[in-house]
Amino acid sequence: MTVFKKLQKARLSLVQSNLKKSGKNAFAKYEYFELGDFIPTIHKIFDEVGLCGVFTFGETQAFLIIHDTEKEGATITFATPLVMANNPKGQAIQDLGSTHTYLRRYLWLMAMEIVEHDTVDAITDPQEQARLNEVRKQIKVEPNFKPDESRVLFVDGLIDYGSKCTRLSDIVSLWKSNQSQVDDLKKNHKAEYARLQAEFAKLKENFKED
């Protein structure tokens, strides 16, 4: 059995395991998967099918490498750009821990194709939806243009992380912590920058200054 077949078998077993979400966003009123909701089940399934997941960092990306434990060198790699967590009231080591946890969670969701709440499509306010539609119309994409996948994942990750913030200051800090990559988007990936800007504007509108 190939490593791809094993991974697909593991995904199917995970779907049939009836996972429960324990994470709760009280402000936006939705639930989400925390690492502890699925990691124990994945480890059990991986052991049964002969897979092992290894999480690691590069300079600008984090990786989840799925190894076939029965065939040397057979791997599948999932990658995502680094999105740095930032808590203005926390310590650096806490931010590092939050970043590790977030990236591990995001990569496992990607690898196992675990379906989560979509913060973009869940907009119910007609006026807000109309505003975002106008922003999308202003984003001009060439007919054969294919956005840099790593930049798309970075924007997706930043939006996902931002959706779980509970204070306006956290939203602002998250943007500033990833300023260099945001500036690169603004300069070299204008469509993704516009998408990020629009979604962060929406997130900020959910909060009121104290």
Exposed/middle/buried for residue 146 (C-beta within 10 Å: 0-12, 13-18, 19+): exposed
Note the pTM of the prediction, 2 decimals: 0.55
pLDDT digits (tens, 9 = 90+) for 30-67: 677 888 889 999 999 999 999 999 998 877 788 999 99
Report the C-alpha gap between 174 and 191 in whole angstroms: 20
The reported pLDDT for the residue numbered 208 is 60
Contact at 8 Å (CB) between 114 and 107?
A: no
Residue bearing the bigger pLDDT, 163 or 116 = 163
Element (H, E) at 107: helix 92-112
pLDDT digits (tens, 9 = 90+) for 146-178: 445 667 777 888 888 788 777 888 888 888 878
What whole-number percentage of the chain has pLDDT above 70?
73
The reported pLDDT for the residue numbered 30 is 66
The DSSP output letter for 64 is E
pLDDT digits (tens, 9 = 90+) for 96-106: 777 778 888 88
The reported pLDDT for the residue numbered 124 is 44
What average pLDDT does this structure show over 18-40? 77
User: How many Cβ atoms are within 10 Å of 192's Cβ, its own excluded?
Assistant: 21
Show Cβ contacts of residue 207 under 8 Å, excluding neighbours closer than 6 positions. Answer: 167, 168, 171
Task: Extract the tokens encoding 91.
Answer: 């310590």
